[in-house]
Amino acid sequence: MDGPEFQPLAVVEVDAVRPERQGFTLTGLGTGGAEYQLDLHFEMPLDPRTRAVLGELFSHSELVVSRRSPPAALRDALRARAGRQNP
């Protein structure tokens, strides 16, 4: 896939995993000390054993949050628009 590369925004060390009805909520501290929360939902039921294994795996994980930069033309247009709204 051609286009701008993904740029890492934060690396988050997972501190806690909370089981939810349809998945998990992962929380942790990221680069710069910011707190992050990731809600992970599954569209299928998880049996107790699978839920336990996934919870254990997630509790020993690290998340990298990245995003793709918008194309330069779109970025420039958004900056110009923001400049007109905030004189």
Please give the Cα distance from 54 to 77 (Å, whole number): 43
Instruction: Please name the amino acid found at residue 37.
Output: Q
Q: What is the pLDDT of residue 31?
A: 84
Distance CA 27, CA 83 (A): 35
Tell if the pTM clears 0.85, that is, is over it: no
> Where are the alpha helices (H) located in the chain, listed in sequence order?
48-59, 72-85
23: left (phi over 0), alpha (psi -120 to 50) or beta: left
Specify which residues 58 forms β-bridges with: none
pLDDT tier, 75 (very low <50, low <70, confident <90, very high otherwise): low
